[in-house]
Chains A and B, each alone.
Chain A
Amino acid sequence: MEWTMTANDPGRVCLMQGNEAIVRGAVEAGINFAASYPGSPSSQILGMLGKIARERNFYAQWATNEVCALEACIGTSLANARSICIVKQNGLLCVADALHCGAQHGVKGGLVIVTSDDPSAHSSTNEFDSRFMAESADLPMLEPTNMQEAKDMVPYAFELSERLRQMVIIRLTTRVCHGRGNVTLGPLPEAPHEIQSVGEWDRMVCVSYRHTPMLETLDGLREAFEVCPFNHYTGPEHPKKLIVAGGTGCLYSQEALRRLGAAEETGVLSLATLWPLPETLIARYLADAEEVLTVEEVDPFLERNLQAIAGKNGYRIRFSGRGDGALPRIGELTPDLVLSAVSGLTGKPMPPRPKVSEEPLLERDLNFCAGCPHRATFYLLKRAMRRAKDPGIVIGDIGCYIMSGQEAGHYAYQACNCMGSGVNLAEGLGQLTAYCLKQQVVTMCGDSTFFHSILPGLVNASYHNSNMLLMVLDNSATAMTGFQPHPGTGITAMGDAVQPMQIRPVCEALGCKVTEADPFDVEKTAEILEDLLRQPGLKVLIMKQPCATLMTKSRRGKVKVWVDQDKCVGDGCGCDKFCSRVWGCPGNSWDFTKNKAAIDPVSCVGCGVCAKLCPAGAIQVEGGDAK
């Protein structure tokens, strides 16, 4: 909860989310500057930092993208500021160049990067293991096992960063970010870290001859990591069977050993220092081990490094983990997966489980929220593309509208790569239309993605006049991650009102032909869309309609949508249950007893679009600003 971020009450035990623990750690470290672009599972961190920035006298920013965020932090470090940059795994990949160059020139004020990996890709398109980035850039990396360590690691990482004059990365995973646990508060500093003017001969310059000193910095750190207080060992002094755990794996392993009654004879080495690895510490426990199980999130990163250390020391050990199938190659760890792997290691039988039915249960598909403007957009797009002579090519992008690739959006697109890539994929295809490709090319982006990474692609597409349509789905929100401000919203992370950037004039300044439409104005927008699909060259269509969740928050007066079941013809209508079957809004339900349409009053947000589409005119809208 918010008060726990700034409570000056050292020793008090609070319940904190992992993301909140990072915020508290940053406040205890006396940061001067924080920047991020939203990405689940760590989106909440900068949102909370923005709310308390004034009170704690630091600056916090929702940056236009992750590159802006990290590079701003590198800039402020030159003035000795303590800066924190928060990214998710994909964001860390976006900043790869700045990260590798920054590693070579080092920093002055402490710079901590918090990166969140999303094992099982709960809120992502892909799993990525950010530990490879630390290894690749030769940067120190830490990983907490619980919320308390998440908080305590932030001030520790800042001190380390300043001592080494190097960036430090803290790796989180979804279960730490979104989990909650007890955290004992530490003292708050009287004032933030001291900002210093930049001296004439201060230098943070990436040049190739910095490579050797950078590697020497890392060598020096190895010794400090041998005695890092966040590495733990429990078990016999010379274990024959050893578990090496990272992050969430530590508590799962300890619990599995307790349940199996094997805690006495099995060692658990929990490693917080992921890069560089404390090789002497590891070798000490590997020395007498016969079997080693590695329990870690995403890839067999520790497992392979342990094998290398064992090889270097001439140890003969049987290794298991993600690499050999003792744990699955993909997906997040669960207590049951770890229990089974630990049972394999220790030879203790699995506890019995009651038999349950294995008959599959219905899954719930992802869907656009009730009243979401994207539902109307993709219904209209699909209809227009089908009416044209060929089905065309649609390219997706990253945002809520990624769900348009599934049933929710009538399987709208054929390709979707990373954030901001849609315009470029479409640009390439658009050029092929001069070389025998006879199809319409359409792509999409949201308003936040537009500013994040569409702009350079749009410059490219406009300059080369690619034959394509870019639909900007402007719902005035970074909706997928929880409504963070972006340059089009007119508000900043610290709550200041600023001049919002308009997407239309930006596009026009780049030489694009721009049309605006309202996806809820169904017939008119259908005409516009079909007309644009017939026109050659680069077209931009801005679909303007606020996110349904925002709309319901801001609207006054209740709207009631209901079905006049006397007018609904049911199965005999010929509409094929359009509202619930084709339109697919969670608010449109079906009354199976009367075999007529119904509205679910719990889900419906009152947008009223289904009323415009019902061929029998059976759906009624009352009150509010309904048209």
Chain B
Amino acid sequence: MKELRYDPLNIVICGIGGQGNVLASEVVASTMNDLGYRVAVGETYGASQRGGSVMSHVRVSKDLDMGVLISAGEAHFIIGFEPLETLRIARQYAGPQTRIIYDPRPIYPQGVLRGTQTYPDLAALRAEIRSLGAEAHEVPAADIAMACGDSRAANIALLGAFSRLPGAPLDETALSAVLQQRFQGTVLEMNEKVFAMGCAAMDEKGR
């Protein structure tokens, strides 16, 4: 078992119901379980899945038994599917150690479309996200997934980018092995393409 950079290691995955963040947390958590780590996952969904904010907490340790929720300011990684949701979670869970990766494509709450609310200024929102952690990276995950043919694969693009972050508990090899277990045929091909593009999106930033 590899040493973890932090123990327990805390990851928050956030977005809007239906974006695939439960699957993303389950992929990370079951892979860590298979590698022999202690794992705890807390998911918030239920009625909130219908257009509401959702989040998953994934915690990994070599030997500690952990509660399924992370304390305020204690996240090491935040994976966000939407900028407003990323900010909401970063305000609560980010600290000086937190690496944030998120899709900057806004999904408007119904109140914004109705004209009763205003979506926050995107530039200010992105700046605030950057200010809350050690680093913040934008990955156009939904655009990547739509370009590959299925918007539902945005979670796979984000996982690809996540695997490239320093201190990520899972590398590209481990995650692509999971994809091969879970998908087959053309769906597997599509997901592999999305995953590779997610990795590449992160690599370009490094250059």
Q: Which residues of A contact B (CB under 8 A)?
A: 1, 13-15, 40-41, 118, 122-123, 146, 174-175, 178-182, 248, 251-252, 255, 259, 334-336, 339, 353-354, 356-357, 361-369, 400, 403, 407-408, 480, 577, 580-582, 584, 586, 588-590, 600-602
Contacts and interface: CB of A to CB of B under 8 A. Distances in A.
Contacts of A589: 108, 113
A217 B164 CA distance: 60
Contact of A123 (B46, B51, B69, B111): B46
- Top 4 nearest A-B pairs (CB, nearest first) are A123-B46, A251-B67, A180-B41, A179-B68
A41 B43 CA distance: 11
Interface in B21-38: 26, 29-30, 33-34, 36, 38
Contact of A357 (B26, B71, B91, B146): B91
A354 B74 CA distance: 11
B24 to A, nearest CB: 13
A255 B96 contact: no
Interface string B71-86: 1110000000000100
19 contacts: A15-B33, A41-B46, A146-B65, A179-B42, A179-B43, A180-B40, A180-B43, A182-B38, A182-B39, A251-B65, A252-B67, A255-B71, A335-B71, A353-B72, A361-B87, A362-B109, A407-B114, A580-B114, A601-B146
Task: Kindly state the interface size class of chain B when it binds its partner.
Answer: 35 or more
Contacts of A15: 26, 29-30, 33-34, 39, 41
Contacts of A122: 44-48
A577 B46 CA distance: 31
Contacts of B84: 361-362
A181 B52 contact: no
B53 interface: yes
A495 to B, nearest CB: 23
Contacts of A179: 40-43, 68
Contacts, number: 151
Nearest to B113: A580
B91 A181 contact: no
A556 to B, nearest CB: 17
Contacts of A354: 73, 95-96, 132
B4 interface: no
B69 A175 contact: yes
B50 A369 contact: yes
A231 to B, nearest CB: 16
Contacts of B72: 336, 353
B142 interface: yes
A65 B144 CA distance: 45
Nearest to A590: B113
B110 A364 contact: yes
A90 B109 CA distance: 31
B194 interface: no
